[in-house]
Amino acid sequence: MITCHSEYGVLKSVCLKTPAAAFQRQEKIDAEWRALNFVGRPDFHAALAEYQGFQSAVTETNPTLHFFPENDLSIDSLYCRDASIATDGGMILCHMGKANREGEPSAARQQFEAWQIPVLGAIAAPGKLEGGDVAWLDTKTLAVGLTYRTNANGIAQLRRLIEPLGVEVIEVPLPHFRGPQDVFHLMSILSPVDHRLAVVYSPLMPVVFRELLLARGFELVEVPDAEFESMGCNVLAMGPRRCLIVRGNPQTAERLRAAGCQVTEYKGNAISVLGGGGPTCLTRPLKRVV
């Protein structure tokens, strides 16, 4: 079955935005990275080199690639998952919780229309919703983080759009952690990588939600404390148990392999660690085969 309602089916089509299009030049990075709360200043040429390795890994399953073009958005637009949600009824355009990124959904709409990808609807103010807070547990169940980037109004609007497709929405309230300026999405602590297998960081996971996953039969691959900051929990499944992770998380990689996963690593200091966006953030998957 080909569907948009999966985080772990074989990747068949995906949207990307390269650092050449998002960062554009070193001067743009230098002007923006502090205000956007990057933890450090990315080097433009290092980002280009790292992205070559990342893109090569993403194309292992030969998906169709759609590239967002260069435009006047911020360097945060590299993390193209956040501006939209893919559903079998069409794309849902988000309303960004980070004010610096508010132009991304409308720019995404222009491209979806150009690519003849249907748009189901859009989240409007006062609702807030970001794609990093949204994860498919299965084709009929969507978990959505209630965070500083995604609010109750945004989740209510999402429900109205997606429940007619037969989808259950599970709201997951997340903790304050480092506050509203930090990037802390649901997918910072949860990455489904196969049917009933997920990578998690349990210390920041609500007890009710963790118990729900266990009650549904999920096996949990636990990310150690030392590898949370290096995005060990942000794992892109290119297919069932075919995992792409940021290099520098050896314990997580070992635990994934012990769970029967194939693990591919990419160097991601400039494109992932400094901006707080791992491989799921760098991609807007469209269709998968489950």
DSSP conformation letters of 84-140:
EEEETTEEEE-B-SSGGGTTHHHHHHHHHHHTT--EEEE--TT--B-GGGEEEEETT
Query: Which residues share a beta bridge with 283?
Result: 16
The pLDDT score that the predictor gives to residue 62 is: 96
Q: What mean pLDDT do residues 229-251 have? A: 97
Q: What mean pLDDT do residues 165-170 have? A: 98
Say what percent of the chain tops pLDDT 70: 100
CA angle, residues 169, 175, 176, in degrees to nearest 5? 130
Paired tokens of 71? 């435009």
Torsion of CA 102, 108, 110, 114, to 10 degrees: 180
pLDDT band at 181 (very low <50, low <70, confident <90, very high): confident
CA angle, residues 192, 119, 112, in degrees to nearest 5? 85
pLDDT band at 207 (very low <50, low <70, confident <90, very high): very high
pLDDT of 183 over the 90 cut = no
Paired tokens of 165? 């497709």
Whether residue 243 contacts residue 264, with contact meaning beta carbons closer than 8 Å, is answered with yes
The pLDDT score that the predictor gives to residue 96 is: 97
Q: What mean pLDDT do residues 14-43 have? A: 98
pTM of full prediction above 0.85: yes
The pLDDT score that the predictor gives to residue 258 is: 98
Paired tokens of 134? 């949204």
The pLDDT score that the predictor gives to residue 259 is: 98
Contacts of 202 (CB under 8 A, 6+ apart): 189, 210, 220, 222
| Closest to 6 measured CA to CA, from 134, 93, 120 | 134
pLDDT band at 114 (very low <50, low <70, confident <90, very high): very high
pLDDT of 288 over the 90 cut = yes
The pLDDT score that the predictor gives to residue 182 is: 87
**Domains along the chain with CATH numbers:** 2-289 (3.75.10.10)
